[in-house]
A and B are shown apart, each in its own frame.
Chain A
Amino acid sequence: SAVISQKPSRDICQRGTSLTIQCQVDSQVTMMFWYRQQPGQSLTLIATANQGSEATYESGFVIDKFPISRPNLTFSTLTVSNMSPEDSSIYLCSVMAGPANTEAFFGQGTRLTVV
């Protein structure tokens, strides 16, 4: 299994500002994934963070809005830039672990409210 610490757990931010979310894993992993979950909705993959290379973004998400860092094999950050109320969501980081690395483990999430 994997234990993921994510912080902050929640924040209320002013529109136009940026927030950086941190994700720490208790073991080394090749890929880390960032998801967004809007209230009452499903999880949508934002990007995949690989150590030593640029993050790979899914359709609809761009690096300027969601820059990601991956300085080592246990840590990643996601920044939500120039925030607007539409960015209010839960942001979760995830890693694959378990037998054959087939189980996705999630951090507790960051509940972001933009006012």
Chain B
Amino acid sequence: QQPVQSPQAVILREGEDAVINCSSSKALYSVHWYRQKHGEAPVFLMILLKGGEQKGHEKISASFNEKKQQSSLYLTASQLSYSGTYFCGTGNAGGTSYGKLTFGQGTILTVHP
């Protein structure tokens, strides 16, 4: 089941903040966040594991609410370089499913000067 991302698109001015949400209809083990710029491969931002803590990476952080089966990505004081499509990917615990990711439909983030 594909996770659902919201919003589908967001437009910001430099310095503004944004939140991207990712919800799943099934229990999550891990949530992975990626950013993809046009014509490029997705780039890993961070992973949140079941039972893990909220993580941060410079001005980008994320939370994982296991009970609500959702994760949120927080971008603060956005920069032009943040523009791109953000994907969340949900992962399974292990065994033959380890490493397989199911991606949300993506959120297009555009940052203007």
- Point out residues on A near B: beta carbons under 8 Å: 31, 33, 41-45, 48, 56, 58, 92, 96, 98, 101-109
Interface residues of B (CB under 8 A from A): 2, 30, 32, 34, 40-44, 47, 49, 87, 89, 96, 98-106
Inter-chain contact B87/A43, CB cutoff 8 Å: yes
- What is the predominant secondary structure among interface residues of chain A facing chain B? strand
Q: Give, as a whole number of angstroms, the nearest-CB distance from A22 to chain B.
A: 15
Q: Which 9 A-B pairs have the closest CB atoms?
A: A106-B41, A96-B99, A42-B103, A43-B103, A103-B44, A42-B105, A102-B47, A108-B41, A31-B99
On whether the beta carbons of B101 and A104 are closer than 8 Å, the reply is yes
Q: A4 to nearest B CB, angstroms?
A: 8
Interchain pairs with CB closer than 8 A, number: 55
A37 and B47 alpha carbons, distance in the complex (Å):
21
Q: Which of A33, A101, A102, A108 contacts B100 (CB 8 A)?
A: A33
Q: Which residue of A lies closest to B106 (CB)?
A: A42
**B106: chain A residues within 8 A (beta carbon):** 41-42
Q: List 7 A-B contacts (CB under 8 A).
A: A31-B98, A33-B101, A43-B89, A92-B42, A102-B30, A104-B34, A104-B89
> Do A45 and B47 touch (CB < 8 A)?
no
**B99–A106 contact, CB under 8 A?**
no
Chain B residue nearest in CB terms to A96: B99
